[in-house]
Amino acid sequence: MPVIQESVVIRRPPEVVFDYLSRAANLAVWDASVVNAEQIGSAPTAVGSRSHGTSKFMGRRFHWTTEVTAFDPPRHFGFRSVEGSLPFTVTTVLDPVDGDTHLTYRSETVSGLGETLGRLGDPILQRVMARTVRANLETLAHVLAAA
């Protein structure tokens, strides 16, 4: 199972970063692989909340539904796929650093990109995903610093 863990410092307090991250519609703004995303229902985000959307990775589109698994403002946010062809989990930990936020992002994806590449492709997949996550986190930092 490819695991990607990357970190970034965001020039905003953890409360602001957490609020932004916990809104599903913002995902498509900073994550280049996400075509669209929206929360299902209108209740405030909490453990058990669901979102659905579409991602594009390596030329393929993946439709997914996720469920929030961790919601501890402004420190910890996580979700996992509950529907879709590509099982994954994502966790973020936000630590305050001199008024800014040190964000650690960790994703775990099924080996072989859901049978697309097979397990032999995991090292390549992991390198590509790490570059993508790193670029996405830099975009997130830029978007929030400009807000």
Estimate to the nearest angstrom the gap between the alpha carbon of 116 and the chain centroid: 21
DSSP 147: -
Query: What CATH code would you report for 3-146?
Result: 3.30.530.20
pLDDT at 117 over 80: no
- 76 burial (CB, 10 Å; 0-12 / 13-18 / 19+) is middle
Estimate to the nearest angstrom the gap between the alpha carbon of 72 and the chain centroid: 16
Q: pLDDT band at 114, cuts 50/70/90? A: very low
Q: For the segment 33-65, what is each residue's pLDDT rounded down to a tens digit?
A: 999 999 999 999 999 999 999 999 778 899 999
Where along the chain do its domains lie?
3-146
pLDDT value, residue 111: 63
**Spatial separation of the C-alpha atoms in residues 99 and 17, rounded to whole Å:** 12
Q: For the segment 124-135, what is each residue's pLDDT rounded down to a tens digit?
A: 778 888 999 999
**Spatial separation of the C-alpha atoms in residues 24 and 135, rounded to whole Å:** 19
pLDDT value, residue 57: 78
pLDDT value, residue 2: 80
pLDDT at 22 over 50: yes
pLDDT value, residue 106: 97
| Mean per-residue pLDDT of the chain | 91
Q: Are residues 27 and 105 in contact, defined by beta-carbon separation less than 8 angstroms?
A: no
